[in-house]
Amino acid sequence: MLAGCGGPFSTLDPQGPAAERVAILWWVMLAGATMLTIMVMAMVAIGFRRPVARQPGGRFWTHGLGVGFTLTVLVALVGAGLWAGERQQPHPVTPGQGPPVMRVEAIARQWEWRFRQPDAEGRMVETRDRLHIPAGRPVDVVITTQDVIHSFWVPKLAGKMDAIPGRPNLLRLEANQPGIYRGRSAEFSGPGYAGMQFEVLAYPPAAPPVFSPLAAEDGP
């Protein structure tokens, strides 16, 4: 079980603000589910005990734990979900309070990803299966598809976002540090789906990469 917490596709090893909120929500949901499970198992164990005369305090289990405790946990879980979901939205960045938002495009098709991003001189360049973003800077990814539904997912940087025909979707991601982060489509789309993976190269802002357009790059 612990082996599943690591690796390039682990959501429990966040490397960006959006992924950190997803991980926090995961831990909150795990804690809430654990508390409810313990309560239910305790009530089941009490039900198997030898019957005894009715004693005061029975409402503690039915009203206090059965209703009050359960509602408290569920309200906390819903609140955590609303908190995390609202902060996943791509809000505008106030000038002077952070680096400006960079905008790129991710175009899916069976079975590859193409990305359009600015190069060092600000010209839009298209690459295949590798997206270049500056580390420490928010990036808005406009996600589209040329055929069927796909799903853009970089677990260490952000949550999932579907690529739907005729409907561009927007996802904000940010890498805390330079590095290469693995991504893939999280929506089955046919026999070539297993190989529909890509990489996000987060580079130091002071040293933007030099890359060739329409090339599947093999190195950082």
pTM: 0.77
Comparison of pLDDT for 21 and 51, the residue scoring more: 21
pLDDT reading at 66 higher than 70:
no
SS (H, E, C) the chain: CHHHHCCCCCCCCCCCHHHHHHHHHHHHHHHHHHHHHHHHHHHHHHHCCCCCCCCCCHHHHHHHHHHHHHHHHHHHHHHHHHHHHHHCCCCCCCCCCCCCCEEEEEEEECCEEEEEEECCCCCEEEEECEEEEECCCCEEEEEEECCCCEEEECCCCCCCEEEECCECEEEEECCCCCEEEEEEECCCCCCCHHHCEEEEEEECCCCCCCCCCCCECCCC
The answer to whether the CB of 210 falls within 8 A of the CB of 50 is: no
* Predicted confidence (pLDDT) at residue 44 exceeds the cutoff of 90: no
Q: Give the residue among 94, 167, 158 at the shortest CA–CA distance from 131.
A: 158
Tens digits of residue pLDDT in 123-163: 888 999 999 999 999 999 999 999 999 999 999 999 899 99
The position carrying tokens 């000038």 is 95
Please say whether the dihedral angle defined by the alpha carbons of residues 80, 137, 10 and 197, taken in this order, is positive or negative.
positive
What pLDDT is attached to residue 50? 66
Give the angle 29-34-35 at the CA atoms, nearest 5°: 100
Q: What is the pLDDT of residues 72-89, one digit of tens each?
A: 888 888 887 887 777 777
Across all residues in the chain, what is the average pLDDT?
Answer: 83
Fold designation for 102-203 = Immunoglobulin-like (2.60.40)
In this prediction, residue 63 carries a pLDDT of: 63
